[in-house]
């Protein structure tokens, strides 16, 4: 199974990504986690990534592709991937589609998790005290939601036009969201990896 989770901050793509990976046997690849790991590793590149993340700005496409491509390639050769937070821009989507076509592992579905902005903000503020993330602060949360609306949100029509968008209401308890996603994917009769 080869999926992309497309969702604004706070919609639960990390939680759902882990569950879907356990369900399908595909590897969960969380772009934000891989970039945070690189940031913690330090060095020039790490410091640059950390600065973008702390501001809630997108990390430049070339850096993201350099960090993500090896993980996606490895997962693809093992039969499946659940991409969480990548691609997030049109150039990333085009690069990811070219990579997938080259490896003959194109996307089965792009799952779009949506919820009202007030719900997303509330969840992010709730988790802020435990997350330890530099970007879980009220002002940065607002900015991350704006970046989604202005940039990543454009991928919703992009994948709709390609006929693979699956939109799911994320304003429900996590188990219900998981059940909805699984029901929708089961109807597509995708291969399990
Ligand atoms: P959230 O979706 O809650 O913002 P993530 O962990 O997915 O959490 O992303 C956190 C940050 O990591 C983003 O604000 C951005 O700085 C960076 N990031 C993650 N994925 C990408 C990507 N595909 N392109 C650019 N930056 C990214």
pLDDT tens profile 39-50: 999 999 999 999
Residue 68 pLDDT greater than 90, yes or no:
yes
Ligand 1 within 6 A of CB of 123: no
Ligand 1 within 6 A of CB of 144: yes
pLDDT at 4: 97
pLDDT at 47: 97
Kindly report the protein residue whose alpha carbon is nearest to atom 10 of ligand 1: 32
For residue 13, the ligand 1 atom closest to its alpha carbon is 2
The H or E element containing residue 30 is strand 27-30
C-alpha distances in Å from residue 107, one per residue of 2, 72, 100, 129? 5, 12, 8, 36
* Contact yes or no for 81/3 (Cβ under 8 A): yes
Distance between CA atoms of residues 141 and 147, nearest Å: 10
pTM of the prediction?
0.94
Location of structure tokens 């913690």: 40
| Rounded percentage of the chain residues whose pLDDT exceeds 70 | 97
To the nearest 10 degrees (0 to 180), the angle between helices 61-77 and 90-103 is 30
Structure tokens at 51: 């600065």
Out of 54-58, 68-72, 76-80, pick the least confident. Answer: 76-80
Q: How far is the CA of 73 from the centre of ligand 1 (A)?
A: 20
pLDDT at 131: 87
pLDDT at 191: 58
pLDDT at 192: 54
């Amino acid at each position: 199974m080869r999926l992309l989770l497309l969702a604004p901050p706070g919609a639960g793509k990390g939680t759902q990504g882990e569950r879907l990976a356990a369900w399908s046997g595909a590897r969960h690849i969380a772009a934000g986690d891989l970039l945070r790991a690189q940031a913690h590793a330090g060095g020039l590149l790490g410091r640059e990534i950390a600065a973008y993340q702390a501001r809630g700005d997108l990390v430049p496409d070339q850096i993201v592709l350099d960090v993500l491509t090896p993980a996606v390639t490895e997962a693809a050769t093992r039969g499946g991937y659940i991409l969480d937070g990548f691609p997030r821009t049109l150039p990333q989507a085009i690069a990811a589609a070219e990579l997938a076509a080259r490896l003959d592992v194109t996307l089965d579905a792009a799952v779009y998790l949506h919820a009202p902005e007030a719900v997303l903000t509330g969840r992010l503020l709730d988790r802020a005290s435990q997350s330890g993330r530099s970007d879980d602060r009220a002002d940065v949360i607002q900015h991350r939601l704006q970046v989604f609306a202005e940039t990543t949100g454009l991928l919703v029509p992009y994948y709709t036009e390609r006929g693979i968008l699956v939109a799911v209401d994320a304003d429900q308890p996590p188990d219900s969201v998981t059940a909805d996603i699984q029901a929708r994917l089961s109807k597509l009769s995708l291969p399990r990896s």
